Structure 1
Amino acid sequence: MDRPAHLGWRLLALVYDLFPAFALTIAYGALITGVAALAGQPDLSDLRWFKPLNALGLWAAVGAYFVLSWARGGQTLGMRPWALRVVGDDGAPAARAALLKRYAWATLPAVAVIGLAGLVPWNDARLPFGVAAAVAVLGWLWAAIDRDRAPLHDRLSRTRLVRRVNAA
């Protein structure tokens, strides 16, 4: 029997999923560094176009992990220990387009804040990341007022995160 996953289970899965996501960012960085060295441009930080392109690549690499994991059984590594899975609103496996929307709605608002931070002079360089974190948390806080306790990214993508519980 499947029940909606409450916030605690979601956060446990998210923390667990930070490990493969972090490993992906390291692998992505190593790949970019290697390609840059082979191209004779070992210091990419001076290239104006590199930072936004690199951020987009990192976002896509981590997104591929989540979306492909959800598409192959509805679970990431972090969801498996707690029997969580992503399904469509109807309880059937979610369509790939819905999974892409889920990832985009969960991450793009905070990513956009960080991107826009470059256009605003900040007195404290850490402030944009605090604002981005606040924007990300707002999507999760939506669950407190949602009738199904779904965070905003699930509501907008028409997906649900459920937990399998044994019927005893």
Structure 2
Amino acid sequence: MSLQNYPTAGLLRRLIAMAYDALVLLALYLVAGFVLVGILKATTGNWPGQFPASVSFSLFYSICFLYYMHSWRRGGQTIGMKSWGLYLITEDEKPVRLSHCILRSAAGFFSLVIFGLGFFWMLIDGKQRTWHDIASLTRIVYKPKNTD
């Protein structure tokens, strides 16, 4: 059965998968920070002080985007999504493209910045879509493990 036939994933399941992914992102962010500090120490000979907020924000967003883009393009699932049986699919049933990932991550990050309003939008949308689902022409479906 095509993934298009499975129901749209609920908000709670999505949020729990995001919590799993947050742990992966935290680890990636820490590794990137250690590498960046090591490079700065090796090149300047001094331990860097606090990074400017713009550098930290850019690094964090870049790591998030690369993680999600890589995961979505390699099978439509992040680690958190695999754990909870979620798949990212496109409305036109084609593979997830880079443009989908760019639009989805930008709209998703914006949704988080304004207190998750874009996520809770799915509770009032007739098709249960978040802002990033709408912007990227994608949706997250739930496929129970006992179905093939």
Where in structure 2 are the equivalents of 1:1-168 lying within 5 Å?
Answer: 1-40=5-44, 41-45=46-50, 50-108=52-110, 110=112, 132=113, 135-165=114-144, 166=146
Q: Deviations over 1:2-30 (max 9, x none)?
A: 21111121011111111110001101110
Q: TM-score, normalised by structure 2?
A: 0.86
Partners of 2:60 and 2:116 lie apart in 1 by 21
Structure 1: gaps (5+ residues): 111-131
Partners of 2:40 and 2:85 lie apart in 1 by 41
Contact (CA 8 Å) 1:28, 1:58: kept in 2 or not?
no
How many residue pairs match? The answer is 142
The code of the aligned residue for 1:14 comes to M
Structure 2: gaps (5+ residues): none
Partners of 2:107 and 2:128 lie apart in 1 by 17
Partners of 1:146 and 1:27 lie apart in 2 by 39
Q: Deviations over 1:26-45 (max 9, x none)?
A: 01110111011012242243
Q: TM-score, normalised by structure 1?
A: 0.76
- Mark the CA change 1:39 to 1:151 in structure 2 (over 3 Å): closer, same or farther: same
The code of the aligned residue for 2:126 comes to R
Could you tell me how far 1:151 is from its partner in structure 2? 0.8
The alignment yields a C-alpha RMSD, in angstroms, of 2.0
Kindly, what percent of the aligned residue pairs are identical? 27
The code of the aligned residue for 1:156 comes to A
Displaced runs of 4+ in structure 1, greater than 4 A?
none
Could you tell me how far 1:167 is from its partner in structure 2? 5.6
The code of the aligned residue for 2:95 comes to P
